[in-house]
A and B are shown apart, each in its own frame.
Chain A
């Protein structure tokens, strides 16, 4: 039973446009959420995070939004660049527990 779900396996976006990656979770106890980015033949790298006490966190072109009532978070990339093409993983945790990862969404930014 998946506690963190990324329902879109892939997404294609035109360069310069906004990319929106979505993530849903089932465990209402999760209190911290992270996004990781993974290039081929490399390990995932941390991108951005958000605590459950916030509803938005921004870092340059990347913004994460959290909707606790809907148990939903999203990652917005504006503007999208070809170098953003990668697999994006959503992760969450509560208390002193390890991260729970979604299965990932492959983003392709087309020039």
Chain B
């Protein structure tokens, strides 16, 4: 398997614009996670899905953030409208399950977002 694939790798946009980040999880993994990494807060869990259903979105910072998983092989994280403080690296990860050794998450390479 190619691993978790994220696109784009880099995104530069202007404040107020809509941003869509994409993720393809590892085939057969039932869980998908979206994280944001910043210097101040480290790796923050934003939302996670089980079998395409959102389970916990309590980490989503504001209503400007939304995430969908229309099928087992694709998820999006959307920010609308974007603000400079959203600038960060966004990671997608997937895992087989969330129990014991199956809770090993495999991460994509991330999307570095810069909002000017």
Contacts and interface: CB of A to CB of B under 8 A. Distances in A.
Given A43-B4, A43-B93, A98-B48, A103 B42 contact: yes
Contact of B107 (A41, A44, A51): A44
Interface string B25-36: 000000101000
Given A96-B99, A97-B98, A104-B42, A46 B104 contact: yes
A93 B93 contact: no
Interface in A7-45: 32, 34, 36, 41-45
A51 B100 contact: yes
Number of contact residues on A: which range applies?
20 to 34
A88 interface: no
A93 B105 contact: no
Given A96-B98, A98-B98, A43 B43 contact: no
A93 to B, nearest CB: 6
A43 B98 contact: no
A46 to B, nearest CB: 5
A43 B100 CA distance: 21
Given A46-B104, A49-B101, A96-B99, A89 B4 contact: no
Contacts, number: 55
B42 A32 contact: no
B45 A41 contact: no
A97 B45 CA distance: 12
B114 to A, nearest CB: 14
Contact of A99 (B4, B100, B105): B105
Contacts of A103: 41-43
Interface of A: 32, 34, 36, 41-46, 49, 51, 89, 93, 95-104
24 contacts: A36-B107, A41-B110, A43-B4, A43-B93, A43-B109, A44-B43, A44-B107, A45-B107, A46-B104, A46-B105, A46-B106, A49-B101, A49-B104, A89-B43, A96-B98, A96-B99, A98-B33, A99-B45, A99-B105, A101-B42, A101-B45, A103-B41, A103-B42, A104-B42
